[in-house]
Amino acid sequence: MANKGFSAAAITVAALLLLVCLHIAEAEAKAKLGREKISHLHFYFHDLVAGKNVTAVPVASAPTTKFSPTGFGTVVVMDDWLTERPEATSKMLGRAQGIYVSSSQENFHLLMASTFVFESGKYNGSTLAMVGKNAALEEVREMPIVGGSRLFRLARGYALARTHSFDINTGNAVVEYNVTVLHY
């Protein structure tokens, strides 16, 4: 049966032209954005699940969650404070808005999908998106930064989280974040 479509050579040429066009478009976009930069951010994340200023609330769970030692299946929505220092009265830098889900049956691991929304200072109006596993009981946890907006356009990088304090009676936690991002 004869091939009535395009020849392999024609397809190869078309693919190469498409790659060249994409490369040119990427170069033009980068030229408009300027030089790539690296930024280091440091802040404290206040996850308050009890008390008068609750910032994180469970919104769903599985029928078996109450029998799980890890809380497997719990879904929590957060609007957590980001501050300059660990004290709640410290300067507010922004909010961490998103969800975390207890996603392991064997370990206390959370799937975090969070947007760091900066509301003051140098990064006011900019955001960073973090999505990944938070092995909450480990001393230091690394999670990927997968995007951002305004000053953090095309951001990529990582966040290192370390628990500063945890109240076993209330479940309230303060977590120190050190974030490194490449962006335009």
CATH of the domain at 64: 2.40.480.10
pLDDT of 14 strictly over 80: no
* Domain assignment of residue 72, yes or no: yes
Q: Which of 2-6, 85-89, 126-130, 170-174 has the lowest mean pLDDT?
A: 2-6
The 10s digit of each residue's pLDDT in 100-111 is 999 999 999 999
* Domain assignment of residue 106, yes or no: yes
* Domain assignment of residue 27, yes or no: no
Q: What are phi and psi of 98, to 5 degrees?
A: 160, -150
- Residue 12 has what pLDDT? 77
What would the mean pLDDT of 73-80 be, rounded to a whole number?
97
pLDDT of 2 strictly over 70: no
Domain boundaries, position 48: 37-183
* Domain assignment of residue 160, yes or no: yes
- Residue 4 has what pLDDT? 61
Tell me what the pLDDT averaged over the chain comes to: 91
Per DSSP, 49 falls in state -
* Domain assignment of residue 15, yes or no: no
* Domain assignment of residue 44, yes or no: yes
- Residue 20 has what pLDDT? 77
Number of domains in the chain: 1
What pTM was computed for the model?
A: 0.81
* Domain assignment of residue 51, yes or no: yes
pLDDT of 170 strictly over 90: yes
* Domain assignment of residue 126, yes or no: yes
Instruction: 50-58: list long-range contacts, CB under 8 Å, 24+ apart.
Output: 50/170, 50/171, 50/172, 51/170, 51/172, 53/88, 55/79, 55/80, 55/81, 56/80, 56/100
The 10s digit of each residue's pLDDT in 37-70 is 999 999 999 999 999 999 999 999 999 999 999 9
- Residue 98 has what pLDDT? 97
Distance CA 40, CA 157 (A): 10
